[in-house]
Amino acid sequence: MVTPALIGRSLRRVDRCASTNDVVWEAARAGEPEGYAVLAEEQTGGRGRHGRRWIAPPGKAILLSILLRPSFDPSRAPLLTAVGGLGAAEALSRHAGPPVRILWPNDVVVDDRKIAGVLVEMKPISGQGYACVLGVGINVNQSPEDFPPDLEVPAVSLAMIRGSAFDRNVLLDDLLRAIDARYRDVREDRDDALAAAWRARSSVLGRRVRIRADARNWIGQVEDVHPLDGVILRLENGTLKGFRGEHVESLRAWE
Ligand code: BT5
C-alpha cells in the first residue's frame, strides 16, 4: 500500500515574499495543518542561522518552507534539520553526479561547495503547542556570478555541476518526496535509521576541522556526528569534546 504524502500535499506558490518561513508562520498561526508548504520565486529577506542572509536571484533557486507540527519533545528538534538536509541531499543526488554530502549541521555540499542550506525554526503557538517551520534553499540554476563574492563556503548550483539548466519542478518533486520519507522516520521513531543515513553522508567525519563556538575556535579531528548529540572532536591534546549544533557558529575543513 502506498502511504499518501504528508509533505507538500498543499503547496502554495508565491512570486515574491520576504521569507518563505514567515509566510508559513502566518499560515501556522491561522491553524493550517502540518505538511503545508510555500515555494517562492524570490525572497527579499531570505535568512540563514544566526541572523545570516540567504541570497538567490529570482527564478533560479528552490526556496521552500514546510509547516511541521511534531508531537515530540522540543529537544528532538535538531532531527528536523537532519530531515531537511538529508532530504535535499537525497533529492540532489539523483541528478548531481558527484557525491552530495552534509556539512554538519545544516549545509549540503558537493566537493565542499555549498549547494543547499536548511533553517529550522520552532515556536509555541498559543493554544496549538509547538510548531516548526523547515526552510530549504537549493541552488539550482545559478551561474557563478549569481553568488555574492564574500561567502564563507564557496557556493555551487546543480546547473554548474551538470553544465546545463535543470527543471526546478523535477527537483522539487524529488525533494518533497525525500523530506516526506525522512519526516516519517521521525514520526515513527526511526531515529536510528535517520541518523545512520545522515552520518553516512557526512562531509566531515574523520576530517580535521575548525569549529567556532562560544566565541572560541577549536581544532581537531571529527570522531563522530549525530543529529541530536552533535559533533565529537578529538582535540590536538587527545581529549574528546562534544559540540551541539545550536552552539556552533561555523565548522570548516582545516587541513
Ligand atoms: C543556511 O544558513 O544555510 C540556511 C539557509 C536556508 C534558506 C531557506 S530559503 C527558504 C527558507 N526561507 C528563508 O528565509 N530561509 C530558508 P547558514 O548556515 O546560516 O548559512 C548562511 C550563509 O550561507 C550566509 O552567511 C552566506 O555566507 C551563505 N549563503 C547565502 N546564500 C547562499 C547561497 N545561495 N548559496 C550558498 N551559500 C549561501
pLDDT at residue 52 is higher than 90:
yes
Please name the residue that has the C-alpha cell 557558529. Answer: 249
* Residue type present at position 212: R
pLDDT at residue 1 is higher than 60:
no
Cα of 60 vs centre of ligand 1, distance in Å, is 14
Confidence category of residue 12, pLDDT binned at 50, 70, 90: very high
Region 102-128: mean pLDDT is 94
Cβ neighbour number for residue 216 with a 10 Å cutoff: 7
106 lines ligand 1 (CB under 6 A): yes
Read off the pLDDT of residues 149-174 as tens digits, 9 standing for 90 and up: 889 889 999 999 999 999 999 999 99
Confidence category of residue 2, pLDDT binned at 50, 70, 90: low
141 lines ligand 1 (CB under 6 A): no
Among positive and negative, which fits the CA dihedral 191, 62, 154, 244? negative
If one compares 24 and 8, the residue with the highest pLDDT of the two is: 24
Here the cell at position 178 is 525525500
Q: What is the mean pLDDT of the chain?
A: 94
Region 178-187: mean pLDDT is 96
Query: CA 240 → CA 34, 168, 210, distances in Å?
Result: 39, 43, 14
Rounded CA gap, 184 and 205, in Å?
A: 26
Here the cell at position 167 is 527543471
Cα of 11 vs centre of ligand 1, distance in Å, is 21
- Closest CA relative to residue 222, chosen from 246, 248, 192, 193: 248
Read off the pLDDT of residues 67-108 as tens digits, 9 standing for 90 and up: 999 988 888 999 999 999 999 999 999 999 999 999 988 999
Q: Which of 54, 110, 115, 251 is the pocket-test mutation for ligand 1 (most atoms within 8 Å of CB)?
A: 54
The reported pLDDT for the residue numbered 254 is 87
Q: Could you tell me if 205 and 195 are in contact, meaning their C-beta atoms sit under 8 angstroms apart?
A: no
pLDDT at residue 206 is higher than 90:
yes
Cα of 61 vs centre of ligand 1, distance in Å, is 12
Please name the residues in contact with 210: beta carbons below 8 A apart, sequence gap of 6 or more.
217, 218, 219, 251, 252, 254
Strand (E) positions, 69-195? 100-103, 107-110, 113-125, 129-139
pTM exceeds 0.85, yes or no: yes
pLDDT at residue 4 is higher than 90:
no
Confidence category of residue 255, pLDDT binned at 50, 70, 90: confident
